[in-house]
Each structure stands twice: as structure tokens, then as C-alpha cells.
Amino acid sequence: MRILFLGDIVGRSGRSAALDALPGLRRDLKLDFVVVNGENAAHGFGITPKICTDFYEAGADALTTGNHVWDQRELISYIDGDARLVRPANFPKGTPGRGAAEISLPDGRKVLVVQVMGRLFLEPLDDPFQALEDILSRYRLGATIAAIVVDVHAEATSEKMALGHAFDGRVSLVVGSHSHVPTADAQVLPGGTAYLTDAGMCGDYDSVIGMGKDVAISRFTRRVPGDRLTPADGEATLCGVFVETDDRSGRALSVAPLRIGGRLRQAFPEGWRNTKAFRGDSVPPYPP
């Protein structure tokens, strides 16, 4: 199975880039399943029902969120009715929405998408390790479920790595979100789980983690209230991770970062360098 995970969508720039690219990426990478983190898609803060629909129509199979999930209040009444939209599983009992979504492919295979949120430097939520254990106890990779994707929305790299190793061999992919900066440690762990500490954001990297530089810098240098943070609106880099899994075991065969457009060095899965997926027929300058 070929799976693509796109990191945090930030603002209009990141949203437009991802929506433009998804149909071509599905075609050219022959993708079976796409997960998009829509955490910052609505002007940098949360996601709306309309944006969810836009991503499903563009080719996303599931959406994850994070600590900004309730920033758009209309999502509170919407989330229970969207079976493909996932919020952190370790939110308190009784929180609207779901922490895991089991999604069927047209060929009958099923993929489980789970999100947990870290506790280091974030809200003091329930234990993400136990929350993930509780969910995975109902599934067996390669038997009852074809693939399992886990989005770890966390600040600390150590917490993300610990979760990756703790569940190595039991899931297809553990990928970090929230930091908005892509890491260089894509690997298949010893037990067969693909891992990446952070997929990075889909947004303008001429910014401070996707937000306009001036206001962001002012918040660090002046301790007085200032303007509201707004997303940078320059050309976006599309950041994510591509995983290919074994159809029998559900474990990863390979993992590769994906970066297209914008300011960062381009990266694409080996063997797919000549794709025309990004912005119609324009071919990005992939490295040789």
C-alpha cells in the first residue's frame, strides 16, 4: 500500500498548494491512502467544515487536527458527524469527535488513522501512550487492519521518538506534526514501523513556523500586547512523508520525505522524480 501524509496545513498559502497538488500526487505516486493534518488550515487556526470538504474532494481520505482543533467553534457541532476527521485520542472522556478512524478503501482494505497529542510543553492531557495502547488493543496489523497511521501531535522530539519505538512493529507509520519544521530522520524502525519525527508544514517558509515574521518577532522581543498572528502568504512548500507498506504484514517497506515548491530543498520518493503533480504541468526542480 502506498500512503502519503501531509504535514500541518497553514493558512491560505499552504491550503492552496495542497489542494492543487493532491489530485496529481494521487495519480503520479499511485497512492492508495492520503492523510492530511488540517490543524492550521483556517487562517492559521483550526479547520472549518468547508475546508474539510475541500480536502476530501481533492483526494484526502482522512484529516487530523491537534491542539487548535476547537479554534473554529463551528467544528464542535460538526466533528461528530465526520467519520474521517480525527482529533487527539487522549483528550478527556466525553470530548466531541473521535481519536481514531477506521476507513475502508474501495478494494475492501481498511486503514486506521489515530492521533495522540504530546504532554511535554503542551496541555496536561491523558497519557498518549496508554490512549494509543487502548486503541491498538482492538486491532492486529496485517490481519484485522491493512495499515495503521499514527499522527503524534507534539512539541518534544523525545516524546515523539519514544512513541515511535514503543509501538514499533504494531503500526505502519508514526509521524510527528505540530512543530512545522521537517526533520531529516525518516527511517524504518527495527520492527517495521516507518518513522519521521516531524513531517513539517505545508505553508510559506519565509515566516516563523508559517506566521508573518514581524508580528512573530515582536512577540519575542516586546512583552506588550500586539497584533494578531496571521499566516505568511508567500509561495508554500508542500511537506509530508511517503510510505510503502507490505500488503501481507502492514509493516513499512520504505519511507521517504516529500518536499515540493517554495524555499526548501526539494525531496521526492526515489523513482518518482519526474512527476508533474505539483501545480498542474509544472515540474519542480527535483534534485538529480
Task: Name the residues annotated as catalytic.
Answer: 68
Report residue 19: phi and psi, to 5°: -65, -40
Distances (CA, A) of 207 to 177, 201, 210, 232, 258: 18, 12, 5, 6, 20
Strand order in the sheet with 238-245: 85-86, 62-64, 33-37, 2-6, 238-245, 252-260
- What count of other Cβ atoms lies within 10 Å of the Cβ of residue 140? 12
Which of 152, 186, 170, 189 lies closest to 8, judged by CA? 152
Let me know: does 249 contact 269? Beta carbons within 8 Å: no
Helices vs. strands in the chain: H and E counts, helices first? 6, 12
